């Protein structure tokens, strides 16, 4: 057939999406990206050749059956007959599988994937057929060899990247079961699934979560944090938010984020993660789990340093209706919302320590190294709250009185106060060791003091003028009424 002679083809509806199978008779996309029009249709030759190859296979001549298809495979490939070439490749690997010649199967896959002018569609179809054979392999050793062969074939090929990712996940699970955590993690991290356009978002997130899990397992929290930024949390709150699989992925994601946050001691972020898990429909239906998540959110917001975000989140949690079910944690939260001094020994230790330290479902302050560290940080947050309350009512206070209010020894109080001044929690405070007095507010210059007094006097005179105006107005109204 003359390559310049026009070829009759079936019309393609413009208003309907077409699959690659439907368009296979129009053009062929080669491995180097070229789009070539089909020269010759080998459908009839292939229909005749495949039964002959099956006959040779049944007689035990596998090599002869493969050889009988080799020349036709070359013709269909060079003739850009995508559909016929795909049928031949699929049949060749299926014959090797039916003959149970595993070594020849691997060799055939490698040879067919290295041909000149290979066709993307045909290779992709062959790879998918081989992926289905993986579970049917008789032994673990042969299964692993086939997986390695397919990973070699699919390396660097965008059109089979999803199949490569799935094969890699299988291999990673095997390595993980053998205790080769670092090797498994390195292999899975090679997959840049966030760039895979042909992979479904749900499957993509599942792979990224596996990458996070292995990174956290080997204590590589920096890598896990980088991977977490590739996951958009909007997916969890989208149209499929009620789906059980999506909710499971959401809970996994925030569980790993909690571990990262605890390692970085970012307690406010950890509180947000627990709130996100608490708001998951699956958790809302389970009263025990929802109460557990809410308890964690309360404790971690109290462990966070005081700022505008922490204060706002504190009130948001306090408005939660289900907080009524965990009354003791609600009372603890209200202690920090109220503008009163909290006694560490008489209030926290006496009323809450047993609950906080020995709770079965909340291990934030469990008697472990990390738990003791967080409990000490909680004591510091109580001290910071008390100092903020003291600064509202005192301009200066003695060492002994401050130590009494904070439930500290004088030396511990001084060390604690110095740390707060250095870290900027109370930057205006000054310590006079000679007089043993703490100045809670910075001393203002005389001019600033006079300006403040002048502003106060001006404000007072404005109020007096307004009041006198209202009095005069009432007197005039009453005179007018009496005159009538």
Q: How many residues does the chain have?
A: 484
Q: Which of 297-301, 417-421, 446-450 has the lowest mean pLDDT?
A: 446-450
Is 347 within 8 Å of 335 (Cβ atoms)? yes
pLDDT tens track for 298-307: 999 999 988 8
Q: Are 304 and 268 a contacting pair, CB within 8 Å? A: yes
Q: What is the mean pLDDT of residues 279-298?
A: 91
pLDDT tens per residue, range 65-86:
888 888 888 888 888 788 888 8
Q: From the centroid of its chain, how far is CA 220?
A: 15
Q: How far apart are CA 307 and CA 146, in angstroms?
A: 57
| Domain residue ranges in the chain | 40-154+161-176
Stronger pLDDT, 241 or 377, i.e. the higher one: 377
Q: Give CATH for domain 40-154+161-176.
A: 1.25.40
pTM to 2 decimal places: 0.78
- What is the pLDDT confidence band of residue 367, given thresholds at 50, 70 and 90? confident
Give the whole-number percent of the chain exceeding pLDDT 90: 23
Task: Give me 398's structure tokens.
Answer: 């003695």
Model pLDDT, residue 24: 47
Name the H helices within 178-280. 181-189, 201-217, 221-228, 244-264, 267-278
29: phi then psi, degrees, rounded to nearest 5: -100, 120
What is the number of other CB atoms lying within 10 angstroms of the CB of residue 245?
Answer: 10
Q: Decide: residue 142, CB within 10 A, 0-12 exposed, 13-18 middle, 19+ buried.
A: middle
User: Tens digit of pLDDT for each residue in 309-366?
Assistant: 999 999 999 998 888 888 889 999 999 998 888 888 888 888 888 888 888 888 888 8
- 119: CB partners within 8 A, 6+ apart: 28, 29, 30, 31, 77, 80, 82, 85, 86
């Amino acid at each position: 057939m003359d390559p310049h002679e026009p070829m009759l083809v079936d019309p393609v509806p413009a208003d309907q999406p077409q699959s690659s199978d439907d368009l296979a008779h129009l053009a062929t996309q080669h491995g180097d990206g070229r789009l070539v029009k089909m020269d010759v249709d080998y459908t009839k030759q292939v229909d005749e050749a495949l039964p002959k190859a099956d006959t040779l296979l049944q007689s035990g001549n596998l090599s002869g059956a493969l050889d009988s298809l080799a020349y036709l495979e070359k013709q269909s490939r060079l003739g850009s007959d995508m559909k016929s070439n795909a049928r031949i490749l699929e049949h060749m690997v299926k014959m090797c599988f039916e003959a149970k010649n595993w070594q020849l199967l691997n060799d055939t896959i490698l040879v067919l994937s290295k041909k000149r002018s290979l066709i993307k569609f045909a290779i992709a179809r062959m790879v998918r057929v081989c992926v289905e054979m993986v579970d049917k392999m008789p032994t673990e050793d042969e299964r692993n060899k086939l997986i390695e062969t397919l990973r070699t074939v699919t390396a660097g090929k965008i059109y089979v990247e999803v199949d490569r990712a799935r094969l890699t996940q299988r291999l990673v699970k095997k390595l993980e079961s053998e205790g080769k955590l670092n090797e498994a993690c390195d292999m899975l991290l090679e997959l840049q699934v966030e760039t895979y356009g042909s992979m479904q978002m749900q499957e993509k997130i599942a792979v990224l979560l596996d990458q996070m899990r292995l990174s956290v397992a080997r204590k590589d929290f920096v890598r896990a944090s980088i991977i977490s930024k590739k996951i958009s949390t909007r997916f969890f709150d989208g149209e499929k938010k009620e789906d059980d699989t999506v909710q499971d992925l959401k809970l996994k994601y925030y569980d790993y984020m909690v571990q990262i946050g605890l390692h970085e001691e970012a307690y406010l972020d950890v509180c947000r993660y627990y709130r996100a898990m608490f708001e998951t429909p699956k958790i809302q239906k389970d009263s025990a789990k929802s109460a557990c998540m809410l308890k964690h959110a309360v404790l971690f917001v109290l462990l966070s340093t005081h700022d505008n975000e922490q204060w706002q989140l504190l009130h948001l949690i306090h408005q939660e209706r289900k907080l009524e079910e965990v009354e003791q944690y609600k009372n603890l939260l209200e202690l920090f919302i109220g503008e009163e001094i909290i006694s560490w020994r008489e209030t926290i230790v006496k009323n809450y320590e047993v609950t906080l330290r020995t709770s079965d479902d909340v291990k934030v302050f469990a008697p472990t190294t990390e738990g003791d560290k967080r409990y000490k940080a909680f004591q510091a947050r109580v001290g910071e709250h008390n100092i903020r309350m003291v600064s509202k009512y005192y301009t200066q206070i003695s060492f002994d009185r401050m130590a009494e209010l904070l439930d500290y020894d004088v030396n511990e109080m001084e060390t604690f106060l110095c740390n707060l001044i250095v870290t900027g929690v109370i930057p205006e405070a000054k310590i006079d060791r000679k007089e043993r007095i703490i100045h809670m507010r910075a001393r203002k210059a005389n001019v600033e003091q006079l300006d403040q007094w002048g502003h106060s006097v001006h404000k007072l005179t404005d109020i007096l003028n307004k009041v006198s105006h209202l009095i005069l107005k009432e007197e005039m109204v009453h005179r007018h009424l009496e005159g009538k």
